[in-house]
Amino acid sequence: MTEPIVATEEPAPPKRLDVVDTTNSTASLVWLKPEHDGGSRIRGYIVEFRAKGTDRWVVYGESKLQKMLIEGLIENTEYDFRVKAKNDAGISEPQGTFSSVVIKEPLIEPTADLSSITNQLITCKISNTFTIDIPISARSRTTLWKNEKRAAPG
């Protein structure tokens, strides 16, 4: 009878932890699996964060995937993030982000989808009105205008 293989080493740290998106209260993290699993498959990842300038790391949670959305962060606060890999033998050293991240809504220029109207002929008699619906998407404080007047704050 063969003996089962038992993991004797904890895994190497995950590789390249990146913050791929933020909002005014969240950070979306992704990372790559460790180069070495320690002889046992990776069972999950432990994600931690701390406000910049503090020494206390807070365990946010565990994930079996190589990504996590961290919620409940404070807007305009700078945070450090790190992740550890876990196998049957233990927990790896942490892999941190390259630099601290300020939690805020990113400013992304608004875009308008004109694809539904570009090939249409619009005919309107004098003094009649018509409406054109144009989908607009943005992640910033957008102000909409109607007939040269502010329509709605963003």
pLDDT in tens, 17-59: 999 999 999 999 999 999 999 999 999 999 999 999 999 999 9
Instruction: Give, in degrees to the nearest 5, the angle at Cα 10 between 18 and 71.
Output: 35
CA 60, CA 81: separation in Å to the nearest integer? 10
SS3 content of the chain, % helix, strand, coil (to 5): 0, 40, 60
The enclosing H or E element of 80 equals strand 78-87
The reported pLDDT for the residue numbered 86 is 97
86-118 residue pLDDT tens: 999 999 999 999 899 999 987 777 777 777 776
Comparing 150 with 80, the larger pLDDT belongs to: 80
Under the banding of pLDDT at 50, 70 and 90, the label for residue 128 is: confident
Domain-by-domain residue ranges, the chain?
15-102, 108-152
pLDDT at 111 (0 to 100): 76
Q: How does pLDDT run across 111-122, given as a tens digit for each residue? A: 777 777 766 677
Whether domain 15-102 has CATH 2.60.34.10: the reply is: no
Cα–Cα distance for residue pair 76/103, rounded to 1 Å = 5
- The pLDDT confidence band at residue 130, using thresholds 50, 70 and 90, is confident
Task: With a cut of 50, say whether residue 74 has pLDDT above it.
Answer: yes
